[in-house]
């Protein structure tokens, strides 16, 4: 007993000493310690992801495996690669940093960019928007006197993402099961806590002319949220686009995101895109993956995204006015000829639904029960009792045979807790059919992540049953 007490006292004493050390040392020292810790956390995260079978071959795993290194993408402009790129735009009188990547990668990104500072300090950190893969390193880079430039909506976006972090983390982790169990909450690594010192409003660019470099920071909302900023170099005609175009250029925009975020405004996005087209960039530098330097590819890509998004938006509006249902429109609306785009990230039918709900919100003006808090599956057990689980399962099989897996899935959903072994086998078959279809058509990564999650769940139930039998 006394021995245990001694241990506890010894531990308390050590903790006190550590506390005093951390408290006495300069903020710089504390930051350096935290950054070293961050670097280690990042290494562990990469190893964990790389070795997890669920992560193999996914876009997320591709991203986390991107090596962190600095490269000069234009004279005096350096990109630190990573999940989210960080950019150092050098001038002879204070450098500008555009985007700061993930908090778990910032230590390494700082290390590779430091040799290019050339004795000058960073004067401004510009964050393209409030997402963790773009603003995550801001607190690590920030020192007294450095301005933090963000969209005037940044703080509000950061607020809701922070307040709903636990719920969003659960959704993210369902789709990306290799993620850590809970969001990081400590110091430099935690999400949020960024206070912009300069804000940029829609329609009023911030002009930064310093050290022989002309820069314009424009608010272009509607892409990855209401708080998008881009940085434009008018002389070089280089556009730092942040996440305006998403991870692939060109792609159909991610107006809806399965991770769960506020719906993005489609017309605002189209207008922002028109602003970019009027700039006529020679080079686009997204904060994910590589810069695009082929002018013909840039013009073609911008034209396609614009035409495709406008077409989908206008077709939804027209369809709504002519009395069509959202499901009609989801199955009818396709990208027009000449405006084909990959839907690997943003899927057209989901954008259709999002545009519909953006304008009319969740009440589809259809069923009375939509207005009340009693779910339809509250009477599923009655249906099973009346029809019998066997009959429902047989009919589901018939739908699968007839090439209508979604109708089969509706019937299987009715079974709820009454899932028999046969029903689970059918469910697995339906999910596999949907997955094959998704792979062969849009190859939308989120659709595949979701189907994989549901497949894992179904197979776990099958295993459970096998153990019981
Ligand atoms: Zn991003």
- What pLDDT is recorded for position 61? 72
Question: Looking at the structure, do residues 171 and 274 belong to the same domain, yes or no?
Answer: yes
Question: Looking at the structure, do residues 379 and 250 belong to the same domain, yes or no?
Answer: no
Which H or E element spans position 25? none
The answer to the question of residue 288 being in a domain is yes
The answer to the question of residue 346 being in a domain is no
Question: Looking at the structure, do residues 81 and 215 belong to the same domain, yes or no?
Answer: yes
- What pLDDT is recorded for position 1? 46
β-sheet bridge partners, residue 233 = 238
Question: Looking at the structure, do residues 86 and 221 belong to the same domain, yes or no?
Answer: yes
The pocket of ion ligand 1, defined by CB under 5 A, consists of 133, 243
The answer to the question of residue 311 being in a domain is no
Tell me the CA–centroid distance for residue 402 and ligand 1, in Å.
Answer: 41
Question: Looking at the structure, do residues 274 and 394 belong to the same domain, yes or no?
Answer: no
- What pLDDT is recorded for position 290? 97
Question: Looking at the structure, do residues 99 and 188 belong to the same domain, yes or no?
Answer: yes
Question: Looking at the structure, do residues 379 and 291 belong to the same domain, yes or no?
Answer: no
Tell me the CA–centroid distance for residue 306 and ligand 1, in Å.
Answer: 20
pTM: 0.90
Question: Looking at the structure, do residues 274 and 389 belong to the same domain, yes or no?
Answer: no
C-beta neighbour count of 340 within 10 angstroms: 14
| Domain boundary pick from 263, 295, 327 | 295
| Domain boundary pick from 266, 295, 324 | 295
294 phi, psi to nearest 5 deg = -85, 110
The answer to the question of residue 79 being in a domain is yes
Tell me the CA–centroid distance for residue 429 and ligand 1, in Å.
Answer: 34
Task: Give the rounded percent of residues in the chain with a pLDDT score beyond 70.
Answer: 92
Tell me the CA–centroid distance for residue 63 and ligand 1, in Å.
Answer: 11
The answer to the question of residue 420 being in a domain is yes
Tell me the CA–centroid distance for residue 152 and ligand 1, in Å.
Answer: 19
- Write out pLDDT tens, residues 180-221: 888 888 788 899 999 999 999 999 999 999 999 999 999 999
Tell me the CA–centroid distance for residue 134 and ligand 1, in Å.
Answer: 6
Question: Looking at the structure, do residues 289 and 175 belong to the same domain, yes or no?
Answer: yes
Tell me the CA–centroid distance for residue 255 and ligand 1, in Å.
Answer: 14
Of 360, 375, 362, 304, give the one whose Cα is nearest residue 336: 304
The answer to the question of residue 257 being in a domain is yes
* Burial class for 160, CB neighbours closer than 10 Å (0-12, 13-18, 19+): middle
CATH code of the domain containing 125: 3.60.15.30
Tell me the CA–centroid distance for residue 101 and ligand 1, in Å.
Answer: 9
Residues of the chain scoring pLDDT < 70: 1-24, 53-59
Question: Any residues with CB less than 8 A from the CB of 277 and at least 6 apart, and which?
Answer: 302, 303, 306
Tell me the CA–centroid distance for residue 344 and ligand 1, in Å.
Answer: 15
449 phi, psi to nearest 5 deg = -60, -45
Tell me the CA–centroid distance for residue 128 and ligand 1, in Å.
Answer: 9
| Domain boundary pick from 271, 295, 319 | 295
Range of the domain at 200: 42-295
Tell me the CA–centroid distance for residue 83 and ligand 1, in Å.
Answer: 8
Establish how many alpha carbons lie within 13 A of residue 23's alpha carbon, considering only the half-sphere containing its beta carbon. 6
Tell me the CA–centroid distance for residue 395 and ligand 1, in Å.
Answer: 44
208 phi, psi to nearest 5 deg = -120, 105
Return the CA Rg of the chain: 26
The answer to the question of residue 381 being in a domain is yes
Question: Looking at the structure, do residues 170 and 53 belong to the same domain, yes or no?
Answer: yes
The answer to the question of residue 432 being in a domain is yes
Question: Any residues with CB less than 8 A from the CB of 246 and at least 6 apart, and which?
Answer: 223, 224, 253, 254, 288, 345, 346
Query: Domain count of the chain?
Result: 2
β-sheet bridge partners, residue 238 = 233, 283
Check residue 101 and give left, alpha or beta (phi > 0: left; psi -120 to 50: alpha).
left
State whether the Cα torsion 241-246-247-251 is positive or negative: negative
């Amino acid at each position: 007993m006394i021995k245990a007490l001694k241990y506890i006292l010894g531990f308390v004493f050590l903790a006190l000493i550590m506390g005093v050390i951390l408290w006495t040392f300069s903020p710089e020292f504390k930051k350096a310690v935290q950054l070293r810790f961050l670097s280690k956390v990042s290494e562990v995260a990469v190893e964990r992801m790389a070795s997890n079978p669920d992560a193999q071959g996914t876009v997320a795993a591709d991203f986390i495996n991107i090596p962190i290194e600095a490269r000069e993408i234009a004279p005096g402009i350096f990109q630190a690669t990573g999940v989210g790129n960080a950019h150092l735009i050098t001038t002879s009188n204070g450098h500008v940093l555009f985007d700061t990547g993930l908090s778990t990668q910032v230590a390494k990104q700082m290390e590779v960019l430091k040799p290019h500072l050339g004795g000058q300090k960073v004067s401004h950190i510009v964050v393209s928007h409030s997402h963790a893969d773009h603003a995550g390193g801001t607190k690590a880079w920030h020192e007294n006197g450095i301005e933090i430039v963000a969209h005037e909506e940044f703080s509000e976006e950061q607020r809701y993402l922070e307040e709903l972090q636990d719920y969003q983390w659960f959704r993210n982790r369902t789709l990306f099961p290799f993620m850590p169990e809970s969001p990081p909450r400590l110091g430099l690594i935690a999400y949020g806590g960024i206070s912009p010192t300069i804000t940029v409003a829609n329609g009023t660019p911030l002009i930064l002319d310093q050290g022989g470099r002309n820069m314009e920071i424009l608010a272009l909302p509607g892409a990855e949220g209401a708080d998008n900023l881009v940085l434009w170099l008018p002389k070089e005609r280089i556009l730092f686009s942040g996440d305006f175009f998403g991870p692939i250029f060109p792609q159909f925009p991610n107006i809806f995101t399965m991770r769960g975020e506020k719906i993005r405004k489609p017309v605002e996005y189209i207008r922002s895109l028109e602003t970019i087209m009027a700039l006529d960039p020679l080079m686009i530098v997204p904060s994910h993956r590589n810069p695009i330097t082929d002018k013909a590819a840039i013009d073609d890509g911008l034209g396609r995204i614009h035409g495709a998004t406008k077409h989908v938006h206008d077709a939804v509006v027209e369809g709504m006015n002519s009395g069509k249902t959202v499901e009609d429109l989801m199955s009818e609306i396709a990208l027009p000829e000449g405006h084909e785009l990959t839907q690997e990230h943003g899927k057209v039918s989901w954008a259709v639904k999002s545009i519909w709900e953006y304008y009319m919100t969740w009440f589809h003006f259809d069923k009375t029960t939509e207005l009340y808090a009693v779910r339809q599956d509250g009477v599923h057990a009655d249906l099973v009792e009346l029809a019998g689980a066997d009959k429902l399962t047989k009919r589901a099989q018939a739908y699968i045979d007839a090439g209508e897996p979604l109708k089969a899935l509706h019937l299987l959903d009715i079974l709820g807790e009454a899932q028999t072994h046969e029903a689970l086998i059918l469910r697995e078959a339906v999910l596999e059919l949907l997955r094959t279809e998704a792979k062969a058509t849009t190859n939308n990564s989120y659709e595949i992540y979701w189907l994989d999650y549901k497949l894992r769940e179904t197979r776990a139930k099958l295993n459970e049953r096998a153990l019981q039998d």
